[in-house]
Amino acid sequence: MERLEVVLATRNEDKIKEIKKVLNGLPIKFYILKSFSWLPKINEDGKTLKENAIKKARTVASLTGKIALADDSGLEVKTLNGDPGVYSSRFAGEGCSYADNNRKLLKLMKNINEKKRNALFRCIIALAFPNGEIKTVEGKIKGSISKRILGRYGFGYDPVFLVPGYGKTFAQLGPKIKNRISHRAQALQKIRKVISEIVN
């Protein structure tokens, strides 16, 4: 069976690992953006996660001539009017670290009681083809924000996102469980079905 060539339209090494892990077993030859050093930096200026995912995937597909897969994920906290949302990766400012974002979030929620700490993790994955065709899927999981940073696994907001039914953060649960139930895992399972239909 011929392998499908897919460019992962992200420079986030943690996302690349998760994507490859969940899509493992499919006849795919993955490329990363580093393989195309001439590609310009894509300005994520969309008003929604879906707009950003589509823009990244479509740009990379049109410039490389290969299928491109892009993910845009966000944490939406109800009591913060949906923030950080589309700004999740740069919540604490351009060039900030995961820890910076988590500290800012916990500081903003310092005096908010447990009943009002509800949050939603959302992931949109876009699969773009060189001919302009695009397919999008969504994964989401409800949870709440912890009072402090907990756990040593994962990345992003994993140390502060409490998963319902487990009473632990994604960072405490580890990759085995996260790659089965997370927002990104759900979206990847859906895109896995799309890719399976293409290669079969």
Question: What are the catalytic residues?
Answer: 72
Interior CA angle at 70 toward 68 and 72, to 5°?
Answer: 170
Contact criterion met (CB below 8 Å) for 126 and 70: yes
Report residue 118 as tokens. 């509800």
CB atoms within 10 A of CB 85: 18
User: For residues 138 and 88, what is the distance between their CA atoms, to the nearest angstrom?
Assistant: 17
Rg of the chain over Cα atoms, rounded to whole angstroms, equals 17
Q: Which residue has the tokens 């916990």?
A: 106
